[in-house]
Each structure stands twice: as structure tokens, then as C-alpha cells.
Amino acid sequence: MLNGILVIDKDKGMTSADVVYHLRKALHIRKIGHAGTLDPEVTGVLPIAIGQATKLIELMHTRPKEYIGSGLFGYATDSYDSTGTVLKKTKLTKAFTSEDIQNHMNEFLGEIEQVPPIYSAVKVNGKHLYEYAREGIEVERPKRKVDILQYDLTNKPTFNEKDGQEEFDFKIKCSKGTYVRSLVNDLGEKMNCPAVMTYLRRVASSGFDISQAVKLSEIEENPEKAAELIQPIDAFFKDYPQVDLSEGKWLKVKNGAGISLEIDAKKVALRYNKKVKAIYENKGKLYRPSLMLLQNE
């Protein structure tokens, strides 16, 4: 039985749910879920939790995500990306400087309130925003707080004098729930020039990066390779303080009992037989269960 995280490099044109569906068929495993939806047009890191690792999905969402992408000053769309209907157009007569763009990007750093695009999966009254958009129904979009850890210009922008447009590349590190499309659209609003996202690739998520990723097709063609490529559950907790349990303490942990530990940490990964069995949290005099794994006892 497979237990762990398979880091998939999602191709363009697929939904995150499509990836899960294909992996279920290829691996003949029902217990699979993804951490962090990627839009069909976006490629890159999609962590897939398999077996007991599905217990980690909520925790996986708490880790930052990293993206590289491109945007264009000159027009804006209803979807905030190049697939949408054009709403505004402006022909630039001169280029923005790198310094000007970066200074405005810096204004988004930290905790901000963001309005999701109308073409998004956010729900209002039990209905996705994109469903309202397709039906032409106006609805108030809920604001959400997100954390922007990095928003950087990654090279010199390219100005097309003939079209009056300027293309720029960026790197973003952010919390869950952040819409990068909105960050590009909102950057344009700050600079008084419509802007649209033209390309996006996620390069890291849930503590895993693109160097650990594999194409879905590779697993479908050789399902047995999943056992070699899967990241063990323990890899997710590599930054946690680790405690190896004696047999006596393991018996207590196995039953969910509180234990005393000679360590000062908020949360610890408890190991037995060289595997993380549980995450315990400091509750004063004793450490008590935060997450039980008990993988392959």
C-alpha cells in the first residue's frame, strides 16, 4: 500500500481533480487527494497525498506556495488572464521602468485583502463565482486576507512600442487562497494601466518543489514507478523537532495518551521504528496528540 506524497508537474489543460482521477485509475487506490487547486491554464507543482498522507492535506495547505509567471501592461480582462474577455485597453506611449514596477509590487507585501476574480471557484451562497459569471449574474465577491511573502520582478521588462504593451516576468511567494491573477490585475490598477496575467507556473507548494515533481503521463505509463518517486510522509515533517520513542512511550502514543518529553517545542514529530507515527503538541505539563499517523505499524 502506497503512503506518501506524489509531487506531480501538472500539464496545461487539466484540472487538479482530473489528475486525482487519472492517478486513482493508474494506481488502483481510492484514498488520494490533492493539496492546493491549480487552474487548468496553470502548470507545475501539484502535491498529491496518497494513503495515510491524506491526513496531512489540511497541514499541507498551511505551507507557502511559489510561482513564476508573466504579465502584460496594456489590457485587462474579466478573468484577469489572457483567456478572458477584454474589458479595458490602453496603448502605452513609454515603458515603465523596472524600478517603478518593483516599487509598486512591494506595496503588496505582507497581509493584504484580496478580491478573487469573478472566474474562480470561490463559492457565494453555495454557488461558484464562475457559475454566476457564465450566467451574467452580478454578485458581490467576498474579500479575503492573504499573505504575500515575495513579489519580485525577475528580469528587465520588454516594451513593444508598436502595440503599446509591456511584458514583465515575476516571482511570487504567498499563502494559500492567493489569486496570482488578482495580484497582476491589481498591480495594473495601482499603476493606472490595465494589466493581465499571460503565464503562470507553480514551482513549489506544501514544502515540495519542481525538482521533486514527475509528469502524470510517466506514472500512467509505468505505475510501478510511483513507489520509487513518492515522497515519504516523514519528508513533510523534516523541519519538526524529532523524538525517537521508547517501546513504553510508543504504547502510550499508540493509544493517544499524553506523554512527558525532555524537549521545549510547540509541536514535535514522534518516531518509532524509524518512522513518524504522530505529531504531538505542547499542552503544558504533557504533550498531547495533534495528528495521529501510525503508518505501517
Residues annotated as part of the active site: 39
Rounded distance, CA 254 to CA 244, Å? 14
Per this entry, what is the length of the chain? 297
CB atoms under 10 Å from CB of 91, counted, come to: 11
Integer Rg of the chain from CA = 22
Alpha helices in 88-179 (DSSP H): 98-106, 129-134
Sheet holding 267-272, edge to edge: 242-244, 267-272, 275-282, 287-292
- What cell numbers appear for 278 in the block? 504522530
Specify which residues 225 forms β-bridges with.
none
C-alpha cell read off for 246: 521508547
Give the CA angle between residues 157, 165, 105 to the nearest 5°. 50
Query: In this structure, what C-alpha cell is assigned to residue 148?
Result: 504575500
Query: Residue 253 in 3-state DSSP?
Result: helix
* Cα–Cα distance for residue pair 227/137, rounded to 1 Å: 47
Environment class of residue 227 by beta-carbon count within 10 Å: exposed (0-12), middle (13-18) or buried (19+)? exposed
Residue 249's CB is within 10 A of a number of other CB atoms, namely: 17
* Phi, psi values for residue 43, rounded to 5°: -105, 170
Beta strands 65-73 and 4-10 are unpaired
**Residues 274 and 295 sit within 8 Å (Cβ to Cβ):** no
CA 226 – CA 104 distance, rounded (Å): 43
